[in-house]
Amino acid sequence: MNKESANTMLKFLEEPDGNVIGFFITNNKDNVISTIASRCQSLDVNFNNTDFEKLGLDEDTYNNYFNILKEYLQKLEMEKSKLILYNKECLGEYTKDELKILMQIALNLYKNTLDNKLIGNSLDNKLSFLNKLSIANLKKKVNLLIEYLQELTYNVNLDLLLDRFVIEMEAINNESL
């Protein structure tokens, strides 16, 4: 949703016509700006799609993104130096749309880890490094990823966005030490 359509949506939500009931349907409510989301009643409908189907990807493409992201997140969570340089090496070649997909997958991974921690389960071994994060740490990272996914809808400098992302992720990690 661009800025103009978001403003139109807000106007509709703030000043609806008479007996009109509006339905705002999205397959990614994390990308809905907070001012719109706060004025809507949310109803989650699960169609039991796989992660790759939710993102509109085939399974091989999803697995490729997942493996890249797994390596990136492992460095982000486990190593404490030169991460900004690693951004350029690992993610510097991706387009805005590809970064959106990577961040959406990351958001899903952190959300799933948080959900599992809240009910006392742990993730499988390939993502065990996420299990070491505290619930508070996971919540902050989920919120940060939501914020960055929203920023990716605007015309932003991708290098600066990724650098800021790493700095803020490191700050969250340092808070929990």
Residue 141 contacts residue 169 (beta carbons within 8 Å): yes
pLDDT of residue 70: 87
Residue 113 contacts residue 127 (beta carbons within 8 Å): yes
User: How many CA atoms, within 13 angstroms, populate the side-chain half-sphere of residue 38?
Assistant: 5
pLDDT of residue 147: 92
For residue 176 the two structure tokens come to 């929990």
User: Which sequence spans correspond to the domains of the chain?
Assistant: 3-37, 51-175
pLDDT of residue 145: 93
Residue 142 contacts residue 110 (beta carbons within 8 Å): yes
For residue 139 the two structure tokens come to 């919540």
pLDDT of residue 69: 87
pLDDT of residue 50: 65
Q: Between the CA atoms of 167, 169, 175 and 177, what dihedral angle is there, to the nearest 10 degrees? A: -110
pLDDT of residue 139: 92
Helices (H), the chain: 3-14, 34-37, 51-54, 59-78, 83-91, 96-119, 128-131, 135-151, 158-175
pLDDT of residue 143: 93
Instruction: Report the C-alpha gap between 70 and 65 in whole angstroms.
Output: 8
Name, in order, each residue with C-beta under 8 angstroms of 138's C-beta and a sequence gap of 6 or more. Answer: 110, 113, 114, 117, 130
Cut 0.75: pTM above it: no
Matching residue, tokens 């992302």: 165
177 residues of the chain, pLDDT tens digit each: 678 888 888 888 888 777 877 888 776 777 788 888 888 877 666 555 567 777 878 889 988 988 888 888 888 887 765 677 777 778 878 889 899 999 999 998 898 888 888 887 766 666 778 888 888 999 999 999 999 999 988 888 888 888 888 889 888 888 765
pLDDT of residue 140: 93
**Number of other residues whose CB lies within 10 A of the CB of residue 162:** 23
Sequential DSSP letters for 22-60 = -----S-GGGS-HHHHTTS----------HHHHTT--HH
Instruction: Report the C-alpha gap between 34 and 39 in whole angstroms.
Output: 9
